[in-house]
Structure 1
Amino acid sequence: MSQQIELTNTVKDSQLGQRLDQAVAELFSDFSRSRIKEWLLQGKVQVNGEVVTKPRFKVMGGEEITVFAEIEAEERWEPQDIPLDIVYEDDDILVINKPRDFVVHPGAGTPDGTVLNALLHHFPDIAEVPRAGIVHRLDKDTTGLMVVAKTVPAQTRLVRALQKRNITREYEAIAIGKMTAGGKVEQPIGRHSTKRTLMAVTPMGKPAVTHYRVAEHFREHTRIRLRLETGRTHQIRVHMSYLQHPLLGDTPYGGRARIPKGASEELAEKIRQFDRQALHAAMLRFEHPVTGELLEFHAPVPDDMVNMSEALREDTKLNHSEDY
């Protein structure tokens, strides 16, 4: 079973001089680079209405790119009866609140048991939509809100809205260290040079912008709110690590336990036992892809982060005179 799709987008001026395969992969980041290259070689990509089959063809910016292709149904993606916390659903979209320890998409090491498998069971027709309607992802242990498209037109419009930065995504996090004020991180992110499962700030990476503000000060930690402008893999985790304020529990990005001086043994143990990045997608705001209505959703901060904030707050009160 296969499905015909048509994708269109315009090459950005910032992509001047890029290879065609690289430019198309960035414009249609919902699809893998290998699939994009395959479509190119098969003559399914047009530049300003003309078929171009050379991946090395250089773009100048402003070209209209059209892709006419077929998507084969992936047989390995099996529906699985896994419960989903559905915040909102209609004929075109659904919004879920993802728990920790839940991978979004099947991949190496996680062939099933994912959000995608759960979506196929909940709404079988979503198999007709590329990537089962998944528009953006959250890391395995990041909790919170995700929007999923139930139809191809809804997905196309949501992906376009993401590319145009018209979807607002706000996160709650606990960072290590004393952050004095909010700000913006504008640093490109790419694959880590030696640790291939991690990302890093690198001059050769893709543009990435994260806004953050301080919500609450603790003695050796800071509760923050963040807003994404772009959606790179591990973006918040990488940017906070770059600021030397990695997230609590995020060991891969330097988030080793920091115990405040004179903290109770109970708090010290809580900090040591916090075993995931303290990151939660708390708010999602976007225009409905079909009706155009402005929608806004909120997901309460999960118990592990709430309890940690309460413990850090109590510790800060008890040691107020000593540190301030």
Structure 2
Amino acid sequence: MSQAIELTGVFADQHYGMRLDQALSDLFPDYSRTRIKEWILQERVSLDGKIVALPRERVLAGQAVHIQAEIVEEKRWLAQEIELNIVYEDDHILVIDKPAGLVVHPGAGTPDGTVLNALLHRYPEIADVPRAGIVHRLDKDTTGLMVVAKTVPAQTHLVDALQRRDITREYEAIAIGHMTAGGTVDAPIGRHGNIRTQMAVTPTGKPAVTHYRVMEKFRAHTRLRLRLETGRTHQIRVHMAHIKHPLVGDPVYGGRLRPIRNASPEFTAALRGFQRQALHATMLRLAHPVTCELMEWHSPIPQDMVDLIEVLRVDTAEHPDDLVWI
């Protein structure tokens, strides 16, 4: 199924000299720049009656623009009654605090039971928004804050804000190894060359930047606060593994559990029992897509991470002079 649309307009003085895709995004803000670029490349856009197929074409004030395009209707997913922890909501956006174990979007192996299915049940009208308003994702076993758009214009503005890096996302994590200071990982991320379900640092990947600082040091682990500058798949997990400090419990990038000398049975059991990556989206800050008000939300780390941190503190107190450099 597809929906035919027709848009017309005239470029104003402020559009003079802008790229065509940029000017069209400003003229028709309900549609993302990515979608508009696709229409240009598909030769669906004309200026003064002439088809233009280059997104970088510079426009002139007074030019008449005409777009004839189609929007392909997305697959209709199943609406399901699944509890969501909503920490903020208005007519345009909502912010949820996602628990571990909940997948954000249906995919291979997870056809339903996701955040998207829950959104469709709670807000039937959100079916008209691409991806049910989901703007960014968290991994299945990563907990914490994520924003959802309830309307197409709100989603368009939030996606553009993400691309401009105007949305701030901070995380807490527990990494393996005793780290002395914070830093920045600036390393491109792309698909793993041999394992297509995994990501990796690779020269052919997309730019990816993660900033981190030390919050608390333990004998053989470090509690971190991280800020994403980009939003690649598995970015924090891949970057921390890349600098030889993978996250505790990471089943994909963490490697085998390494024994810690002089560790108590309780300490070892706690580490073995932590079966997800120790990663939590703790802070989200953005400008509201409609009111432009700067908004910020915080989420405390979940109980499983609280319990793990206490175990690490006890171990460090029992061995104050025995740092383990792993």
Range of TM-score over shorter length: 0.7 to 0.9
1:159 matched to 2:179? The reply is: no
Q: Partner of 1:258 in structure 2?
A: 258
Matching residue's letter, 2:260: P
Residues of 2 paired with 1:200 and 1:274: CA distance?
23
Q: Which amino acid aligns with 1:219?
A: R
Query: Match of 2:303, as an amino acid?
Result: D
- Give the Cα–Cα distance (whole angstroms) in 2 for the partners of residues 62 and 176 of structure 1: 50
What are the ranges of 5 or more consecutive residues in structure 2 without an aligned counterpart? 8-19, 24-31, 60-65
Q: Is the 8 A contact 1:158 1:289 kept in 2?
A: yes
The answer (yes or no) to whether the contact 1:105–1:115 under 8 Å persists in 2 is yes
- Mapped partners of 1:133, 1:5: distance in 2: 23
Taking a change above 3 Å as real, the CA distance of residues 318 and 131 of structure 1, as seen in their structure-2 partners, is same
1:207 aligns with 2:193: no
Shift of residue 42 of structure 1?
4.8
Q: Deviations over 1:282-301 (max 9, x none)?
A: 00000100001110001110
C-alpha distance after superposition, 1:89-142 (max 9, x if no partner) = 000000000111111111111111110010011111111111110000001111
Matches within 5 A, 1:165-204: 165-204=165-204
Normalised to the residue count of structure 2, the TM-score between the two structures is: 0.83
Structure 1 equivalent of residue 12 of structure 2: none
Structure 1 CA distance, aligned partners of 2:185 and 2:231? 13
CA contact 2:213–2:224 (8 Å) conserved in 1 = yes
Alignment deviations for residues 136-168 of structure 1 (CA, whole Å, 9 cap, x no partner): 000111110000000011001101110110000
* Deviation at residue 70 of structure 1 after TM alignment: 3.6
Deviations 1:8-30 (A, max 9, x none): 8549xxxxxxxxxxxxxx973xx
User: Measured at CA, do residues 46 and 272 of structure 1 come closer, stay the same or move farther in structure 2, by a change above 3 Å?
Assistant: farther
TM-score (norm 1): 0.83
The answer on whether the counterparts of 1:219 and 1:260 sit within 8 Å (CA) in structure 2 is: no
In the aligned structure 2, how far is the partner of 1:206 from the partner of 1:75?
28
Please give the alpha-carbon distance, in whole angstroms, between the structure 1 residues aligned to 2:47 and 2:204.
Answer: 25
Aligned counterparts of 1:323 and 1:241: Cα–Cα separation in 2: 20
Per the alignment, residue 28 of structure 2 pairs with none
Verify the 8 A CA contact 1:10 1:62 in the aligned structure 2: no
Structure 1 CA distance, aligned partners of 2:299 and 2:184?
24
Q: Offset of 1:251 from its aligned partner? A: 2.7
In the alignment, which residue of structure 2 is the partner of 1:128?
Answer: 128
Distance 1:196 1:141, change over 3 A: same
Alpha-carbon distance in structure 2 between the residues aligned to 1:145 and 1:9: 31
Aligned to 1:20: none
Task: Tell me what 1:317 maps to.
Answer: 317
CA shift, 1:74, in A, is 3.4
Give the distance between the partners of 1:47 and 1:194, measured in 2 at CA: 46
Call closer, same or farther: CA 1:155–1:217 in 2, change over 3 Å: same
Q: Distance in 1 between matches of 2:203 and 2:41?
A: 29
Separation (CA, whole Å) in 1 of partners of 2:235 and 2:45: 30
**Pair member with larger Rg:** 2
Q: Which residue of 2 aligns with 1:308?
A: 308
For 1:138 and 1:157, the matched residues in 2 are separated by 20
Distance 2:317 2:78 in 1: 51
Give the superposed CA RMSD.
2.9
User: How far apart are the structure 1 equivalents of 2:6 and 2:245?
Assistant: 43
Counterparts of 1:77-88 in structure 2, within 5 Å, are 77-88=77-88
Report the equivalent of 1:106: 106
CA distance in 2, matches of 1:239, 1:151: 33
Question: Does residue 119 of structure 1 match 2:119?
Answer: yes
